[in-house]
A and B are shown apart, each in its own frame.
Chain A
Amino acid sequence: EDKVVQSPLSLVVHEGDTVTLNCSYEVTNFRSLLWYKQEKKAPTFLFMLTSSGIEKKSGRLSSILDKKELSSILNITATQTGDSAIYLCAVEAPTGNQFYFGTGTSLTVIP
Chain B
Amino acid sequence: EPEVTQTPSHQVTQMGQEVILRCVPISNHLYFYWYRQILGQKVEFLVSFYNNEISEKSEIFDDQFSVERPDGSNFTLKIRSTKLEDSAMYFCASGLRQGAGYTFGSGTRLTVV
- Chain A residues near B (Cβ < 8 Å): 31-32, 34, 36, 41-45, 48, 50, 88, 90, 92-93, 95-104
Contacts and interface: CB of A to CB of B under 8 A. Distances in A.
Residue among A32, A43, A95 with most chain B CB within 10 A: A43
B90 to A, nearest CB: 11
B43 A48 contact: no
Given A42-B91, A92-B98, 19 more contacts: A32-B99, A32-B101, A36-B104, A42-B104, A42-B107, A43-B91, A43-B104, A45-B103, A88-B43, A92-B99, A96-B99, A97-B55, A97-B56, A97-B98, A98-B33, A98-B48, A99-B45, A101-B44, A103-B41
Interface string B46-59: 00101000011010
Nearest to B50: A97
Given A98-B33, A101-B42, A31 B98 contact: yes
A41 B35 CA distance: 13
B107 A41 contact: yes
Interface of B: 33, 35, 41-45, 48, 50, 55-56, 58, 89, 91, 98-101, 103-107
Contact of B43 (A32, A45, A92, A101): A101
B67 to A, nearest CB: 13
Contacts of A34: 101
Given A34-B101, A50-B99, A98 B42 contact: no
22 contacts: A32-B99, A32-B101, A41-B107, A42-B106, A42-B107, A43-B104, A45-B103, A48-B101, A50-B99, A92-B98, A92-B99, A95-B55, A95-B56, A96-B98, A97-B56, A97-B98, A98-B33, A98-B45, A99-B45, A100-B45, A103-B41, A104-B42
